[in-house]
């Protein structure tokens, strides 16, 4: 290897080292200005994920992922399992909270420009985690096999056909398969309870590591010499307090506003139902309702715009580079 090649390689390794870090201590102290819920908006979705994991495992004891038994097993949880309706409600509401908090965390990070050097890779990993979170919502929505969930999922799956053939074929094979409703439900179940949690845990580990490397982003008006607070036990206790408040809020809301299970899916009931996605995908639904996007020709254009928006957000650190923060 020539000296010039080694120089390029060293610069490349140095770039990754300054972004990922290889020699930073774990559980570094936290600056005093970070003892605020706004600095831990990314931690609360993790708490929601843990609550969903516990409640999801409990529901897996009774749920059967087949079109013939999915609804009846869900109804059994609602009506026959002790606190089953409460369990289902907690699972759904924490899923909603996880999506909302992830979006709030992204917007907060954007407006304080934490995506800039040296946290570009943290932003990208965080955005992929956001996409995975939306994937949880999409795959979990189908599992009860109600007329609401199945009809909305069919619309979402049908939109995939408007993508370019190689992409649509690959996505359809991954999430639907080729075996009809049975294979589709089983694929969604596997994605929801195995694949997506595993991917999210890997991404979470990577992001936590980079957070330890770079530390918490400082506000632009922070004076030098900010007091540092030891992570354990002070910051750890603060995080446990936040988690307890959030968890208590989810339990309280779930107890006060329990879910009602919609009717089961049948082709007859679906023909009388106007499908629409859950609230976190309604913005895509509204784009598709714009008159210029109606029809078979407008759908690919609308989906291309949505895809481009996701790509631009993902690559924001390279679209808005530099170190100057606002």
Kindly tell me if the per-residue pLDDT of 170 is higher than 70: yes
Asked whether the beta carbons of 26 and 212 are under 8 A apart, the reply is: yes
Three-class DSSP category at 31: strand
Q: C-alpha 110: how far from its chain's center?
A: 17
Residues 45-60: tens digit of each pLDDT:
999 999 999 999 999 9
Reported confidence tier of residue 78, pLDDT bands at 50, 70, 90? very high
Tell me what pLDDT residue 160 has. 78
Asked whether the beta carbons of 306 and 287 are under 8 A apart, the reply is: yes
With residue 228 as reference, give the H or E element that holds it. strand 228-229
| Sole residue written with tokens 């004076």 | 223
Asked whether the beta carbons of 31 and 218 are under 8 A apart, the reply is: yes
Tell me what pLDDT residue 222 has. 59
Residues 182-213: tens digit of each pLDDT:
999 999 999 999 999 999 999 999 999 898 88
| Sole residue written with tokens 């990754």 | 16
Tell me what pLDDT residue 64 has. 96
- DSSP assignment string, 52-78: HHHHHHHHHTT---STTTHHHHHHHHH
Cβ-based neighbour number of residue 205 at 10 Å: 11
Tell me what pLDDT residue 21 has. 65
> What torsion, rounded to 10 degrees, do the Cα atoms 81, 83, 89, 93 define?
-130
Tell me what pLDDT residue 275 has. 84
Write the CB contacts of 58 (distance below 8 Å, at least 6 apart in sequence): 87
What six digits make up the tokens of 230? 């030891």
Kindly tell me if the per-residue pLDDT of 223 is higher than 70: no
**Residue 118 backbone zone (phi > 0: left; psi -120 to 50: alpha; other: beta):** alpha
In the chain, what are the domains? 40-217+239-316 (1.20.810.10)
Question: What does the pLDDT average to over 120-124?
Answer: 94
**What average pLDDT does the chain have?**
88
Residues 154-164: tens digit of each pLDDT:
888 888 777 77
Q: How far apart are CA 94 and CA 254, in angstroms?
A: 9
Residues 262-317: tens digit of each pLDDT:
999 998 888 888 888 889 998 888 888 888 887 767 888 888 888 899 999 999 99
């Amino acid at each position: 290897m020539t000296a010039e090649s080694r120089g390029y390689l060293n610069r490349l390794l140095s770039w990754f080292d300054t972004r990922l870090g290889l020699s930073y201590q774990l559980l570094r102290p936290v600056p005093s200005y970070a003892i605020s819920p706004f600095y831990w908006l990314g931690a609360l979705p993790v708490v929601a994920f843990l609550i969903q994991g516990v409640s999801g495992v409990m529901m897996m004891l009774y749920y059967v992922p087949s079109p013939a038994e999915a609804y009846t097993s869900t109804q059994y949880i609602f009506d026959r399992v002790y606190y089953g309706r409460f369990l289902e409600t907690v699972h759904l509401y924490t899923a909603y909270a996880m999506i909302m908090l992830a979006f709030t965390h992204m917007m907060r990070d954007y407006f304080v420009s934490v995506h800039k050097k040296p946290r570009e890779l943290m932003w990208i990993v965080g955005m992929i985690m956001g996409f995975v979170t939306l994937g949880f919502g999409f795959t979990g929505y189908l599992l009860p096999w109600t007329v609401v969930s199945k009809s909305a999922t069919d619309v979402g799956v049908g939109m995939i056909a408007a993508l370019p053939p190689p992409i649509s074929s690959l996505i359809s094979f991954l999430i639907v398969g080729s075996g009809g409703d049975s294979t589709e439900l089983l694929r969604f179940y596997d994605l929801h309870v195995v694949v997506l949690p595993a991917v999210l845990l890997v991404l979470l580990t990577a992001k936590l590591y980079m957070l330890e490397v770079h530390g918490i982003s400082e506000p632009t008006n922070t004076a030098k010499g900010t007091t540092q607070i030891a992570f354990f036990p002070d910051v750890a206790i603060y995080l446990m307090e936040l988690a307890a408040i959030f968890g208590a809020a989810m339990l309280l809301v779930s107890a006060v506003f329990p879910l009602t299970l919609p009717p089961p899916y049948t082709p007859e009931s679906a023909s009388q139902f106007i499908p629409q996605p859950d609230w976190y995908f309604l913005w895509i639904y509204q784009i598709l309702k714009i008159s210029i996007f109606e029809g078979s020709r407008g759908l690919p254009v609308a989906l291309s715009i949505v895809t481009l928006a996701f790509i631009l957000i993902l690559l924001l650190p390279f679209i808005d580079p530099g170190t100057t923060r606002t």
